[in-house]
């Protein structure tokens, strides 16, 4: 199992749980988080043992979309790749039941993820 910087990934039985893990930023999305979500969900989509994918957020927020403070802070961001924007397509098209356990703020790109 891969260790990630901005998400937690756990498999219990046939259920995978992906947790956005930037609680001090209400789980706002950065380029690193996009890459990690893409990599993780790409793996989950083709794992025949996983039947259910649960998405949730650490702390008090689910996902407010992009972390605009991180993007405007001047802090160096890793480069994005075009395929990382296919996260919602992966969720909608993978042959798994997807469940969003929304535990707080959910806006912008966060609403696309939870559909």
Which has more confidence, 107 or 89?
89
pLDDT tens column, 5-17: 999 999 999 999 9
Number of Cβ within 10 Å of residue 63's Cβ equals 29
| Cα–Cα distance list, 15 to 37, 51, 84, 89, 93 (Å) | 16, 6, 23, 20, 17
Task: Locate 71 and state its tokens.
Answer: 């993007």
Q: Where are the alpha helices (DSSP H) in 1-114?
A: 31-45, 68-72, 87-93, 109-114
Contacts for 94 with CB less than 8 Å, ≥ 6 apart: 41, 44, 45, 53
The mean predicted confidence, pLDDT, of the chain is 87
pLDDT of residue 69: 81
* Domains of the chain in sequence order: 7-114 (3.90.226.10)
């Amino acid at each position: 199992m891969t260790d990630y910087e901005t998400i937690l990934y756990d498999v219990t039985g046939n259920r995978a749980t992906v947790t956005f893990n930037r609680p001090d930023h209400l789980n706002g999305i950065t380029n690193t988080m996009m890459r990690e979500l893409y990599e993780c969900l790409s793996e989950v989509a083709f794992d025949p043992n996983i039947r259910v994918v649960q998405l949730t957020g650490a702390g008090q927020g689910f996902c407010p979309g992009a972390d605009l403070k991180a993007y405007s802070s001047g802090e160096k961001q890793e480069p994005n790749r075009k395929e990382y924007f296919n996260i919602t397509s992966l969720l909608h098209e993978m042959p798994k039941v997807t469940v969003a356990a929304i535990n707080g703020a959910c806006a912008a790109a966060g609403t696309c993820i939870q559909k």
